Amino acid sequence: MVPAQIGNWIQDRLGSSESEDWLEKRNPATGGVLFQAARSGAQVVSRAVQAAVTAQATWGRVPGVQRGEVLFEMAARLQQRRDDMARLVALETGKSMRDALGETDGAVALGRFMAGEGQRLYGRTTTSRMENRLAMTVRQPIGVAGLIVPANTPIANLAWKIFPALICGNAAVVKASEDAPATAWLFAEIAQQAGLPPGLLNVVQGYGREAGTPLVDHPAVGVISFTGSSAVGREIGARAGARLARTSLELGGKNPLVVCDDADLENALRWVLLSAFSNAGQRCASCSRILVFENIYDEFVDRLVEATRLLKVGTSDSDNLGPVINSRQMELILHALEEAQGRGCRVLVGGKRLPGPGYFIAPTLVDKVERTDDLWLHELFGPVACLLRVRDYEQAVEAANDSVYGLTACIHTESLHRAHDFGNRVQAGVVVVNGGTFGSEPHMPFGGVKGSGNGTREPGTEALDIYSNLLDLYIHTDPGKV
């Protein structure tokens, strides 16, 4: 299966020369070294882009329907190897096999949906001002797509970008996450086995600054799709903007979940726990701000603290959450909590590393957090949520919108009127009523407003707009030649 030293995947496995420099990928559940991955730089990126340019010249002329047939086969192979893939996802992230299988199935579903888009790839036909003239729009490939992904849901993150990039007729160069090199490697192998021509999917391993930046800067990369933190997204947006390359930036969130006094509190409790702590809070769509009406605050928070205390932390299917992805991230979260307590924030439950190896943090709830506090303002990307007491619905909406982010938001209420109003007024790209802050589906467009992105939407049909150029095509006909 995956080698202990994971190289790049350029053209095909054989086309990727060995690396001189390696980085260590550790197991988040034990802290032990799992693999070495190539620590690549600009030269490797350049070779990968060259392979992509060459392969794309042919692929771009293959009809969309036929491209879709290849993608269907990729999705089918991924499904056949779902256990292999999920095992790697679980190993690299420390999440349970159950969660890893669910994520793999999501990637298969996305593959199937995008394969079907090959039969559509709709443009528009319209009328022309002139006689004997047809006017229409058609989609054209951009060329090479540079795809940069994080490790929180590694197989989903890859599928979300690779399938739409390919169906639109592009070749892809993926900068894999340094925290999930093997998942990307296996994806490339599966694509090759499915018959995707060499050079259309290239995987470069390495760190962001060393391998990601040259990909962003490469003049032959026409579109960069990045999922990751807002800080890095801003930098990528600026660099790519300087050379007028297209970008899709899917960034962080500090997502609010509002519990109204008319909510089904049992249901709200269940969804708060899932939204704040599943995947160890490492979702862009995690709920990290819980806004509770003051007349039910004490009752709800007591129940929530109790339920949080009962959550099981570990890697098995009966556990509720696993470790965070690496030691740096763990230290950052613990440090932020320590500092916050120094400023007067109160940890109600959790707030510490669990004993033993691995990067496990107890699920943590914090109250007495000022809205000017770092903990309220900034994403931590871990199992930590802040609580806020709100007077009423108006104050809940105002507090929900009091963020530089605007990715997802959720409200728990029995009132249709309130739910509808919330959807209209909350600043977010995704709003959920009586559910969680996460849970978007592969055929639906996902993305945020404000600091959570640059307004693009992936996946869904809307992703096609990121990965294709729109061409206006006018055809003049001559009635005399009929």
Question: Is residue 152 a contact point for ligand NAD (CB under 6 A)?
Answer: yes
CA contacts within 13 A on the Cβ side of 141: 28
Count CB-CB contacts under 10 A for residue 302. 11
**Torsion angles phi and psi, residue 407, rounded to 5:** -95, -70
- Residue from 28, 212, 222, 383 touching ligand NAD (CB under 6 A): that is 212
The residue (of 228 and 363) whose beta carbon lies closer to ligand NAD is 228
Min dist. Cβ of residue 269 to ligand NAD (A): 24
Piece of the chain touching ligand NAD by CB under 6 A; list 221-229, 260-268, 396-404, 468-476: 221-229
Question: Is residue 89 a contact point for ligand NAD (CB under 6 A)?
Answer: no
The residue (of 408 and 413) whose beta carbon lies closer to ligand NAD is 408
- Residue from 28, 41, 181, 253 touching ligand NAD (CB under 6 A): that is 253
Question: Is residue 23 a contact point for ligand NAD (CB under 6 A)?
Answer: no
**Strand-by-strand arrangement of the 124-126 sheet:** 124-126, 133-141, 468-476
Question: Is residue 251 a contact point for ligand NAD (CB under 6 A)?
Answer: yes
Distances (CA, A) of 66 to 70, 77, 90, 116, 159: 7, 17, 33, 10, 19
Piece of the chain touching ligand NAD by CB under 6 A; list 16-24, 44-52, 209-217, 289-297: 209-217
Question: Is residue 275 a contact point for ligand NAD (CB under 6 A)?
Answer: no
Question: Is residue 259 a contact point for ligand NAD (CB under 6 A)?
Answer: no
The answer to whether residues 275 and 287 touch, using CB atoms and an 8 Å cutoff, is yes
Token pair 């849901």 is at which residue? 153
N-term to C-term CA, the chain: 61
What span, in angstroms and rounded, lies between the C-alpha atoms of 26 and 383?
20
What span, in angstroms and rounded, lies between the C-alpha atoms of 442 and 439?
10
Question: Is residue 465 a contact point for ligand NAD (CB under 6 A)?
Answer: no
Q: Which of 246, 282, 298, 482 is nearest to 385 (CA)?
A: 282
Min dist. Cβ of residue 264 to ligand NAD (A): 29
Token pair 């919330």 is at which residue? 422
Question: Is residue 288 a contact point for ligand NAD (CB under 6 A)?
Answer: no
Number of residues that bind ligand NAD (CB under 6 A): 28
Rg (CA), the chain: 23
- 316: which 2 tokens? 């098995």
The residue (of 96 and 225) whose beta carbon lies closer to ligand NAD is 225
DSSP 13: G
Q: Using CA atoms in the order 147, 281, 405, 399, what is the torsion angle rounded to 10 degrees?
A: 170
Piece of the chain touching ligand NAD by CB under 6 A; list 41-49, 64-72, 74-82, 225-233: 225-233
Number of H helices, E strands in the chain: 15, 18
**Strand-by-strand arrangement of the 255-259 sheet:** 346-349, 364-367, 384-390, 287-293, 255-259, 408-412, 430-433
Residues 386-415 within binding reach of ligand NAD (CB under 6 A): 407
CB contact set of 306 (below 8 Å; sequence gap of 6+): none
* Catalytic position from the list 117, 189, 210, 250: 250
To the query of whether residue 441 is one of the catalytic residues in this protein, the response is no
- Residue from 232, 265, 292, 301 touching ligand NAD (CB under 6 A): that is 232
Question: Is residue 67 a contact point for ligand NAD (CB under 6 A)?
Answer: no
Piece of the chain touching ligand NAD by CB under 6 A; list 7-15, 75-83, 86-94, 251-259: 251-259
Min dist. Cβ of residue 359 to ligand NAD (A): 13
Question: Is residue 381 a contact point for ligand NAD (CB under 6 A)?
Answer: yes
- Residue from 250, 413, 436, 451 touching ligand NAD (CB under 6 A): that is 250
Piece of the chain touching ligand NAD by CB under 6 A; list 245-253, 345-353, 389-397, 409-417: 245-253
Question: Is residue 208 a contact point for ligand NAD (CB under 6 A)?
Answer: yes
What span, in angstroms and rounded, lies between the C-alpha atoms of 252 and 258?
19
Min dist. Cβ of residue 229 to ligand NAD (A): 3
- Residue from 120, 209, 371, 420 touching ligand NAD (CB under 6 A): that is 209
Question: Is residue 351 a contact point for ligand NAD (CB under 6 A)?
Answer: no
Distances (CA, A) of 286 to 72, 87, 106, 379, 480: 31, 24, 18, 10, 64
- Residue from 111, 379, 450, 466 touching ligand NAD (CB under 6 A): that is 379
* Catalytic position from the list 168, 260, 284, 345: 284
β-pairing verdict for 221-227 and 201-204: unpaired
Question: Is residue 315 a contact point for ligand NAD (CB under 6 A)?
Answer: no
Residues 173-192 within binding reach of ligand NAD (CB under 6 A): 175, 177-178
Question: Is residue 284 a contact point for ligand NAD (CB under 6 A)?
Answer: yes
Helical axes 181-193 vs 64-80, angle rounded to 10°: 120
- Residue from 19, 56, 104, 227 touching ligand NAD (CB under 6 A): that is 227
Distances (CA, A) of 229 to 12, 77, 157, 214, 418: 30, 31, 14, 18, 32
Piece of the chain touching ligand NAD by CB under 6 A; list 33-41, 226-234, 332-340, 387-395: 226-234
To the query of whether residue 168 is one of the catalytic residues in this protein, the response is no
- Which residues are marked as active site? 250, 284
- Positions touching ligand NAD (CB under 6 A) are 148-152, 175, 177-178, 207-209, 212-213, 216, 227-229, 232, 235-236, 250-253, 284, 379, 381, 407
